[in-house]
Amino acid sequence: MRLPAPILNWRSRILPTMLFFCAAIFASAQTQKPPIPPPEPPLPMPDSNPNGPVLHLTTKEVLVPTLVETHDGGVIFGLGTKDFIVEDNGVPQKVHVQEEMDTAPVALVVAVEQGGMSVLEFDKFMKLAPLLDTFLSDDRSQAALVGFDSEPHLVKDFTHSSDELNDGIQHMEPGDGGDAIMDTISYAVDLLNDEPRDYRRVLLLISEARDHSSKHTKTEALIRKIGRSDVLVLTVSFSPARAELLHDLADKDDVRTMNMISGLVMLAQAMKKNVTKEIAEMSGGEYTTFTGDKKFEQRVVDSARHTRNRYLLTFSPSNPTPGLHSLKVRLAQDYGARIVARANYWIGDEPVPSGSQ
């Protein structure tokens, strides 16, 4: 239908004017709209300090924390150099047992997840401070508290005071949806590397099992960092898959002897599924899980007790080939014992081989 001429003339005059005013209003809103304040900058990841204290672990000496228990959980004491066999990539090594089994002070970083699904566990976390007393049983030991969601941040610097740690824990609040586990582990290791060399450096990580939001730390870089450090990582994870846990228990005694490059690829892939478990096993620590209050408290207390009851084995690699090395620790005599020991270490600072993504 053809519109009358007056209407056509009205549309030809009014519509351009309306469009002009709409465009002007939109442009004015864009120029007058107050700028959105930028987000608070994230805490930068600490760089390695080249002038920091020398670590126990070097290319000449490898530290292997080793827990030896009976099947009912009792620690087997009194073992010496002749009682241990350590294999580096399948080759037995000459081992030394350090005397300071439970006398060295502890430098502890407690890293607690505030993001992701951790809000469901906050009632348990609030009871954490008294459980740390076993770590701080001597006057020199000290602990720092780190919280993390999509970024790690220092809540309390190193202190011997349980009251200060408790104050930090009680003021922790749920964070965003992230759980940057690898960034947090890297951050905590750097904090611990600044502690005196005669301390047992320990990271107690309380989190989910899978990393969802680390931005600063690549998987292979974290493998190198843990492999070159003497930090013992103890992980207490929530909401694990039961099938995965049963699989972990079944694989406890597997011999991890493999080609170094393929071993790196396998470890990197495993870390994508459960970084807390793989890092703990790399360092000689333990991966544990909880579902209720009592289980959580028991897991933390056991972690503290096991820290001081570990043998400290050292050896100089007979074949110091750069890269990832696989370790196996066993006893010369079969006591039917449960052995928890370091599974891997790293030699050298060279780039990761290609194909290890």
Region for 239 from its dihedrals, namely left if φ exceeds 0, alpha if ψ lies in -120 to 50, beta otherwise: left
What's the whole-number average pLDDT of the chain?
Answer: 79
Three-class DSSP category at 290: strand
State the Cα–Cα distance between residues 263 and 328, nearest whole angstrom. Answer: 14
237 contacts 207 by C-beta, under 8 angstroms: yes
pLDDT above 90 as % of the chain: 50
Its pTM stands at: 0.75
- The 10 Å Cβ neighbour count of residue 48 is 10
pLDDT confidence band for 212 (50 / 70 / 90):
confident
Q: What is the pLDDT of residue 214?
A: 94
Ordered strands of the 62-69 beta sheet: 96-97, 311-315, 62-69, 338-341
Amino acid at 210: R
pLDDT confidence band for 308 (50 / 70 / 90):
confident
Q: What is the pLDDT of residues 194-204, one digit of tens each?
A: 998 889 999 99
In CATH terms, the fold of domain 103-310 is Rossmann fold (3.40.50)
Most confident by average pLDDT, 70-74, 280-284, 287-291: 280-284
Across the range 304-319, mean pLDDT stands at 91
Lowest-confidence segment of 87-101, 253-267, 268-282 by average pLDDT: 253-267
Amino acid at 33: K
Which has more pLDDT, 183 or 272? Answer: 183
Structure tokens at 135: 């770590």
Q: What is the pLDDT of residue 328?
A: 96
Q: What is the pLDDT of residue 249?
A: 45
Is the predicted pLDDT of residue 79 greater than 60, yes or no? Answer: yes
The crossing angle, in degrees rounded to 10, of helices 275-283 and 260-273 is 130
Centroid of chain to Cα 307: 16
Q: What is the pLDDT of residue 15?
A: 44
Q: What is the pLDDT of residue 342?
A: 94
Find, among 263, 276, 190, the residue nearest to 233 by Cα: 276
Would you give the end-to-end CA distance of the chain in angstroms? Answer: 67
State the Cα–Cα distance between residues 217 and 348, nearest whole angstrom. Answer: 18
Strands 106-113 and 142-148: parallel
- The 10 Å Cβ neighbour count of residue 108 is 28
Question: What are the residue ranges spanned by the domains of the chain?
Answer: 103-310
The crossing angle, in degrees rounded to 10, of helices 260-273 and 219-228 is 110
pLDDT confidence band for 318 (50 / 70 / 90):
very high
Q: What is the pLDDT of residues 220-259, one digit of tens each?
A: 999 999 999 999 999 999 864 443 444 444 444 444 444 4
pLDDT confidence band for 334 (50 / 70 / 90):
confident
Is the predicted pLDDT of residue 90 greater than 50, yes or no? Answer: yes
